[in-house]
Amino acid sequence: MGSLHLDPFVVAVIIGMSAATYVTKAGGLWLLGRINISDRTEAGLEMLPGAIIISILGPELTSGGPAEWGAAAVVLLVMWRSENVLVALLCGVAAVLLFRSFI
């Protein structure tokens, strides 16, 4: 089995960005609940957290190997089935750890 190495800084960044995304979305939803917005604007705002996460993790994926690409596939599958960004990210972290230990 290969050695399992996960950079604590990367984990901290992922957790921090997840928390920032949640707080931003929750605050935005609270604020937007008090004003009227169009359906198109609301749909765009709902996609924003996922887009931010992809823009942060995308460059890491381009330099990643089979474990990272496999974990990305897990994230896409979980996101498609659950429509929950946080659950998809947690499954992706678990998948990359698992794949790195076997690949």
Residue 35: what are its φ and ψ, rounded to 5°? -130, 160
Contact 85, 75 (CB under 8 A): no
Classify residue 83 as left (phi > 0), alpha (psi -120 to 50) or beta.
Answer: left
70 or 51: which leads in pLDDT: 70
Return the number of other C-beta atoms located less than 10 Å from residue 71's C-beta: 22
pLDDT at 95: 96
pTM of the model: 0.54
The pLDDT score that the predictor gives to residue 2 is 55
**Is residue 64 predicted with pLDDT exceeding 60?**
yes
**Segment 38-47 mean pLDDT:** 84
**According to the model, what pLDDT value does residue 3 have?**
61
**pLDDT reading at 1 higher than 60:** no
